[in-house]
Amino acid sequence: MGKGSIYPFKVRIKDPELARVLIMVNERRASKILDPGTARKAGIKLKPIRKDVFIGCDNRYYKSFIALPPELDLDIIKKGKGYDFIFKNIF
């Protein structure tokens, strides 16, 4: 990791819907976010790394998507009722 890198970036999520979406992202590298409220929560929670993690809208179907770039990996640790999601560089 270079100087000034924000990785590994750790975020704790207690919202079950947002946690489910991020678990799907860990499995498939990309996932749909069906609820607009969950998409807003994802944008707020991941704001420091928003430029690296794609959170965008498909105007054709009006659904939001979240995806990881190839150089990032996501680790999940269960903590009580929530999860710790750790975004880290692969290379």
Grouped pLDDT means (10 residues each) for the chain, 91 residues: 74 94 94 90 90 86 89 94 93 77
pLDDT of residue 3: 56
Quick check: is 77 in a domain?
yes
Residue 85 CB-density burial (10 A; 0-12 exposed, 13-18 middle, 19+ buried): buried
Range of the domain at 82: 9-89
Quick check: is 40 in a domain?
yes
Say how many domains are in the chain: 1
pTM listed for this prediction: 0.85
Tell me the angle at which helices 16-28 and 36-45 cross, rounded to the nearest 10 degrees.
80
- Give the dihedral of Cα atoms 19, 9, 53, 29; nearest 10 deg: -60
pLDDT of residue 91: 77
Quick check: is 32 in a domain?
yes
Quick check: is 4 in a domain?
no
Structure tokens at 33: 């976010």
